[in-house]
């Protein structure tokens, strides 16, 4: 190919996408010729991971600005795709449709929160941080406020938030690898980890950027193809997003007809852990305004504080491109998020509507237990039925399912070929890997650049800096995998906590750093550490039986943390001296796109 | 007032408009979630349900692109847009 790599990107990824679709077709043919389900699953995961590792190897680099910010030459649209993959984790891919399926409206606050946050990213932060020219988020804090303590505080908040998040992602990679490759979870976690490190170790941000684009393509095909296929197969509509109103209404009717019968506590004891029944209305408003809004707000402010997202906008060629790139990111995220409720609708209707051939409610227990897919998913501990009232037919309240099953099992329930299930496994793997890569890189870069290079050894040579960065990458990855292997907290819970931690400590110090000249070092340090401690305290308090206040739950503790952070930051800033002239000039320079970046190209 | 101050004033104005629109789609409408869900909205979905599935999400995408274009115009107006070689 002529010309440089960047100019050829559309061609390169066009060929890649074509190749991937070709691979799906080959697998479909192989399935018809008798390839086993297990072999298809292994082929999908192994093939895609091999491609990512290849991209990671091709992107190897020995330059600091390529390693930390991909050489600042990632075009707008491709950075949008990379950010979307970085953003959409195993939780978005595997757990989100399940959450909507079980909890309906109250859960959909997450859809609004995880998209609305990008408006804050675009308008309050990303373009200004890009102008700043930093390598990491603590790099901005450390230079804007000055001093090692401010820089170090930012590293602490970043590490707490990102580490909480990354264990969940490695956990998700392990879950998928263990199902697809049929190996025990404890080993699968490390298989997942090695795949993750293959993408990021040699090329740093450059490697991660180009693998994330590749992973986005896999995950979006893997999510949309089944949704459209199922919708067409069920006769629900050619384009589900615009055509499922009747299905949504039908679910409402069926809910009325069956009613939500509450199960006795003794009966529920027999249900395996992690499985749930349908107890909430599908499309009706089932949460108070504040419960909905507080969760959405926490996720939005968390979005604008998470360093692994913010650092993606350091890689664009210009400030202008950074702004546009946020728009593209959200567009690519929108494609998946707007499909999740459709998948939940299709999945639920196909299971509960007695008029559909796939519906199981109202059938006898013997009939349901004879269905192939029921046996498979029951064995995988994701489905369960029990005849509580002893009448021999399955009622709505007697059917239980795991959240993951909505994405993983629906293709099989709808009667799609197994090749689609293999594709979905590859998509889930891509989603979890891409996010884990971004997170591990954010932590390792912050520690190697901000703690090692800026605080401990400012004279270190590039080769040594990058060696430290890579060693940290491996160490943090293994630490994450070890904790993930213990399976302490569910995937979704820890993801939400990460948002709350990030917003508690970083939201106001970042925003006010650009928008309030008077903000100074003392205020920022108080804001970061005070916010983090307050948020963590609230979480522990509520978890240990505290009643909480103002309806703030363990999922929204960031609202309390960030409020404390704001108050401390303003009060302490005003009580201490204002920033010096040079700092104020720096803020002025950050506010206009033209002119040199504050920090040099390589620093 | 210097050129730079005027630029910042306009930038801040745009921020407030952007945040106001953001507020409506992320918070404002959900204050009336229960009432609004009684009414049939786009494509036949109930209004609130549609907003949480597609409406608000799509509005954010459009809002960001609109914001980026407006901000570029402001930067050009005051001569602060980036040169290609920077």
| Region B31-36 average pLDDT | 83
Residue among B23, B15, B6, B2 at smallest CA distance from B71: B15
Q: What is the mean pLDDT of residues A73-87?
A: 92
- Per the domain annotation, does A407 fall within a domain? no
**What is the structure's pLDDT at A451?**
80
A485 Cα distance to chain centroid: 19
Asked if A330 and B18 come within 8 Å (Cβ–Cβ), the reply is no
Q: For residue A289, what is the nearest residue in chain B, using CA coordinates?
A: B31
Q: Which residues contact A432 (CB under 8 A, 6 or more apart)?
A: A89, A90, A93, A94, A169, A170, A172, A173, A176, A192
Residues A303-313: tens digit of each pLDDT? 999 999 999 99
Q: What are phi and psi of B40, to 5 degrees?
A: -80, 130
Residue of chain A nearest B14, judged by CA positions: A123
- Nearest to A242, CA basis, from A341, A390, A316, A102: A341
Q: Is residue A603 pLDDT above 80, yes or no?
A: no
A window 43-102, beta carbon within 8 A of B: none
Does any domain span residue A409? no
Residue B80 is predicted with a pLDDT of 86
The answer to which of A333-342, A370-379, B46-55 has the lowest mean pLDDT is A370-379
Q: Helical H runs in A353-417?
A: 365-369, 372-379, 405-413
Q: Please state the rounded mean pLDDT for residues A104-127.
A: 92
Task: Evaluate if residue A112 carries a pLDDT over 70.
Answer: yes
Angle at A93 between CA A87 and CA A99, to 5 degrees: 110
Tell me the pLDDT tens digit for each residue of A529-559: 999 999 999 998 988 887 888 888 888 999 9
Partners of residue A109 in chain B, C-beta under 8 Å: 30, 52
Identify the band that residue A364 occupies on the pLDDT scale cut at 50, 70 and 90. Answer: confident
- Our CA-based measurement puts residue B46 at a distance from the nearest CA of chain A, in whole angstroms, of 8
Residues from chain B contacting residue A245 (CB–CB below 8 Å): 43-45
Give pLDDT, residue B20.
Answer: 96
* Chain B CA closest to residue A249: B45
Q: Which residue of A has its CA nearest to B15?
A: A123
A593 lies within 8 A of chain B by CB: yes
Is A584's Cβ below 8 Å from some Cβ in B?
Answer: no
Mutation target to probe the A interface, by most A beta carbons within 10 A, among B1, B10, B12, B26 is B26
Task: Give per-residue pLDDT as tens, A377-395.
Answer: 888 788 888 888 888 888 8
Kindly state whether residue A152 falls inside one of the protein's structural domains: yes
Q: Which residue of B has its CA nearest to A282?
A: B49
Cβ atoms within 10 Å of A161's Cβ, excluding its own: 31
Q: What φ, ψ does residue A33 adopt, rounded to 5°?
A: -85, 5
Looking up tokens 């996408």 gives A17
Q: What pLDDT does residue B86 have?
A: 44
Binned at pLDDT 50, 70 and 90, residue B85 comes out as very low
Q: Which residues does A279 contact at the CB level (< 8 Å), separation at least 6?
A: A102, A260, A262, A397
Mean pLDDT of A128-132: 90
Minimal Cα distance from B27: which residue of A? A293
Chain A residues touching B15 at Cβ < 8 A: 123-124
Q: Is the pLDDT of residue A3 over 70?
A: no
Q: How sure is the predictor about A133, in pLDDT bands with cuts at 50, 70 and 90?
A: confident
B33 compared with A500, residue with greater pLDDT? A500
Whether chain A has a CB inside 8 Å of the CB on B34: the answer is: yes
Question: A327 vs B68: CB contact, 8 Å cut-off?
Answer: yes
Report pLDDT for A303. 93
Res A212 pLDDT > 90 = yes
CB contact residues (below 8 A), chain A span 460-519, against chain B: none
Residue A487's pLDDT band (cuts 50, 70, 90): low
CB contact under 8 A, B82 and A594: yes
Residue A21 pLDDT > 90: yes
Q: Which residue of chain A is at minimal alpha-carbon distance from B12? A: A515
Mean pLDDT is lowest, of A120-124, A431-435, A463-467, B59-63, for A463-467
CB A37 within 8 A of CB A417: no
Task: Please check whether residue B76 touches A, CB under 8 A.
Answer: no
Compare all CA atoms of chain B with the CA of A250 and give the residue at the minimum distance: B45
For residue A177, what is the domain's CATH number? 1.20.1730.10
B75 contacts A594? CB cut-off 8 A: yes
Determine which of A197-206, A252-261, A321-330 has the lowest per-residue pLDDT on average. Answer: A252-261
Tokens standing for A354?
Answer: 């007695």
Q: Would you say residue A1 has pLDDT above 60? A: no
Lowest mean pLDDT among A336-345, A593-602, B17-26: A593-602
Q: Is the pLDDT of residue A115 over 60?
A: yes
Residue A67 CB neighbours (<10 A): 29
Mean pLDDT, rounded, for A5-30: 90
pLDDT confidence tier of residue A336, bands split at 50, 70 and 90: very high
The total domain count for chain A is: 1
Non-local (6+) Cβ contacts of A263 within 8 A are: A277, A388, A397
Cβ <8 Å between B68 and A326: yes
**pLDDT value at residue A352:** 86
Range of the domain at A289: 9-255+277-346+416-590
Q: Do A337 and B57 touch (CB under 8 A)?
A: yes
Is the predicted pLDDT of residue B44 greater than 70, yes or no? Answer: yes
B24 CA to chain A: closest CA distance, Å? 11
A-contacting residues in B 13-32 (Cβ below 8 Å)? 14-15, 18-19, 22, 25-27, 30-32
Pairwise CA distance, residues A225 & A442, whole Å: 32
pLDDT at B62 over 80: yes
Candidate from A256-260, A329-333, A366-370, A470-474 with smallest mean pLDDT = A256-260
Q: Give the nearest partner residue to A116 out of B31, B56, B79, using CB atoms.
A: B56
Bridge partner residues of A400 (DSSP): A384
C-beta atoms of A119 and B60 within 8 A: yes
Mean pLDDT of A131-151: 89
Instruction: Dig out the tokens for A199 from the structure.
Output: 């993408």
Q: For residue A115, which residues of chain B lie inside 8 Å, CB to CB?
A: 56-57, 60-61
**Which chain B residue lies closest to A110 (C-alpha atoms)?**
B52
Residue A435, Cβ density class (10 Å: 0-12 exposed, 13-18 middle, ≥19 buried)? buried
Query: What is the structure's pLDDT at B84?
Result: 56
Question: Among the listed ranges A161-170, A255-264, A338-347, which one has the minimum average pLDDT value?
Answer: A255-264
Nearest to B82 among A118, A120, A593 (CB): A593
Residue A271 has pLDDT above 80, yes or no: yes
Percent of chain A with pLDDT over 90: 34
Contacts of A242 in chain B (CB under 8 A): 43
| Cβ-Cβ contacts under 8 Å, B54 against chain A | 241, 338
Lay out the sheet containing A275-276: strands in order across: A275-276, A399-402, A383-385
Query: Cβ B49–A105 below 8 Å, yes or no?
Result: yes
- Mean pLDDT calculated for residue range A48-62: 88
Q: What span, in angstroms and rounded, lies between the C-alpha atoms of A602 and A586? A: 18
> In the predicted model, what is the mean pLDDT of chain A?
87
Contact B37, B52 (CB under 8 A): no
Check residue B58 and give its pLDDT.
95
Q: How confident is the model at residue A489 (pLDDT cuts 50, 70, 90)?
A: low
**Can you tell me the mean pLDDT for A216-240?**
89
A92 lies in some domain: yes
Bridge partners of A364, per DSSP, are: A393
Cβ of A594 within 8 Å of Cβ of B30? The answer is no
Task: Determine the average pLDDT of the residues in A81-100.
Answer: 88
Give the DSSP per-residue string, A519-553: --HHHHHHHHHHHHHHHHHHHHHHHTT---STT--
* A293 touches B: beta carbon within 8 Å: yes
Cross-chain residue pair B79–A594, CB shorter than 8 Å: yes
Taking only residues 314 to 333 of chain A, the set having a beta carbon closer than 8 angstroms to any beta carbon of chain B reads 318-320, 323-324, 326-327, 330-331
Contact B19 A123 (CB under 8 A): yes
Given a contact cutoff of 8 angstroms between Cβ atoms, the answer to whether A329 and A84 are in contact is: yes
Domain ranges within chain B, ordered by starting residue: 34-78
* Helix H or strand E encompassing B1: none
Is the pLDDT at A56 greater than 80? The verdict is yes
Query: CB under 8 Å to A358, separation ≥6 — which residues?
Result: A350, A351, A413, A414, A415
Nearest to A283 among B46, B68, B79 (CB): B46
How distant is the Cα of B67 from the closest Cα of chain A, in angstroms?
8
Average pLDDT, chain B: 88
Confidence (pLDDT) at A280: 84
Q: Report the alpha-carbon distance of residue A98 to residue A91 in Å, rounded.
A: 10
Query: A330-339, A472-481, A587-596: which has the highest mean pLDDT?
Result: A330-339
Q: Is B1 on the interface with A (CB under 8 A)?
A: no
């Amino acid at each position: 190919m002529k010309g440089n790599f960047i100019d050829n990107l559309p061609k390169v990824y066009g060929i890649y996408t074509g190749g991937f679709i070709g691979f799906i077709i080959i697998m479909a043919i192989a399935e018809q010729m008798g390839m086993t389900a297990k072999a298809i699953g292994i082929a999908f995961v192994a093939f895609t991971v091999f491609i990512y590792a290849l991209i990671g190897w091709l992107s190897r680099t020995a330059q600091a600005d390529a390693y930390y910010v991909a050489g600042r030459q990632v075009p707008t649209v491709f950075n949008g795709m990379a950010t979307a993959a970085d953003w959409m984790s195993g939780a978005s891919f595997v757990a989100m449709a399940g959450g909507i399926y079980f909890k309906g409206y109250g859960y959909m606050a997450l859809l609004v929160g995880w998209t609305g946050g990008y408006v804050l990213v675009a308008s309050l932060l990303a373009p200004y941080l890009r102008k700043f020219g930093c390598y990491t988020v603590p790099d901005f804090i450390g230079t804007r406020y000055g001093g090692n303590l401010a820089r170090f505080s930012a590293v602490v908040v970043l590490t707490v938030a990102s580490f909480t998040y990354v264990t969940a992602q490695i956990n998700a990679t392990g879950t998928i690898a263990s199902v697809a490759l049929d190996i025990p979870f404890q080993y699968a976690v490390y298989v997942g980890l090695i795949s993750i490190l293959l993408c990021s170790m040699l090329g740093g941000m450059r490697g991660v950027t180009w693998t994330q684009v590749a992973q986005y393509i896999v995950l979006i095909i893997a999510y949309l193809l089944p949704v459209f296929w199922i919708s067409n197969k069920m006769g629900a509509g050619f384009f589900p997003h615009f055509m499922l109103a009747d299905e949504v209404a039908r679910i409402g009717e069926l809910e009325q007809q069956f009613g939500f019968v509450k199960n006795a506590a003794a009966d529920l004891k027999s249900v395996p852990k992690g499985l749930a029944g349908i107890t909430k209305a599908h499309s009706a408003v089932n949460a108070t305004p504040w419960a909905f809004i507080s969760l959405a707000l926490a996720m939005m402010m968390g979005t604008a504080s998470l360093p692994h997202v913010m650092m993606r906008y350091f890689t664009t060629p210009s400030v202008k491109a950074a702004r546009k790139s946020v728009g593209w990111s959200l567009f690519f995220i929108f494609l998946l998020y707007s499909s999740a409720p459709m998948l939940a609708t299709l999945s639920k209707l196909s299971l509960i509507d007695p008029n559909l051939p796939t519906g199981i409610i109202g059938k006898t227990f013997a009939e349901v237990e004879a269905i192939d897919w029921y046996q498979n998913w029951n064995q995988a501990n994701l489905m369960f039925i029990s005849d509580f009232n002893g009448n021999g037919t399955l009622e709505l309240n007697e059917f239980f399912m795991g959240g993951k099953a909505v994405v993983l099992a629906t293709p099989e329930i709808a009667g799609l070929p197994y090749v689609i299930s293999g594709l979905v496994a590859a998509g889930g793997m891509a989603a979890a890997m891409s996010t884990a890569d971004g997170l591990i890189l954010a932590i390792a870069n912050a520690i190697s650049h901000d703690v090692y290079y800026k605080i401990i050894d400012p004279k270190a040579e590039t080769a040594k800096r990058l060696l430290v960065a890579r060693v940290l990458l491996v160490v943090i990855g293994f630490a994450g995998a070890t904790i993930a292997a213990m399976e302490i907290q569910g995937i979704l819970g820890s993801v939400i906590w990460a948002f709350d931690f990030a917003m508690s400590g970083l939201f106001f110090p970042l925003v006010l750093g650009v928008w309030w000249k008077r903000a100074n070092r003392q205020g920022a340090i108080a804001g970061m550490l005070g916010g983090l401690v307050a948020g963590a305290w609230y979480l522990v308090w509520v978890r240990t039986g505290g009643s909480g206040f103002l309806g703030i739950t363990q999922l929204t503790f960031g609202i309390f943390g960030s409020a404390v952070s704001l108050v401390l930051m303003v009060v302490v800033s005003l009580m201490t001296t204002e920033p010096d002239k040079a700092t104020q000039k720096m803020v002025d320079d950050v506010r206009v796109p033209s002119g040199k970046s504050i920090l040099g190209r390589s620093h | 007032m210097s050129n730079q101050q005027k630029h910042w004033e306009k930038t801040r104005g745009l921020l407030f408009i952007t945040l106001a629109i953001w507020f409506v789609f992320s918070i404002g409408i959900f204050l009336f979630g229960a009432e609004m869900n009684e009414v049939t909205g786009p494509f036949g979905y109930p209004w609130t349900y549609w907003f949480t599935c597609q409406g608000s999400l799509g509005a954010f995408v459009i809002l960001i692109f609109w914001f980026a274009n407006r901000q570029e115009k402001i930067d050009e107006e005051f001569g602060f847009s980036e040169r290609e070689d920077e």
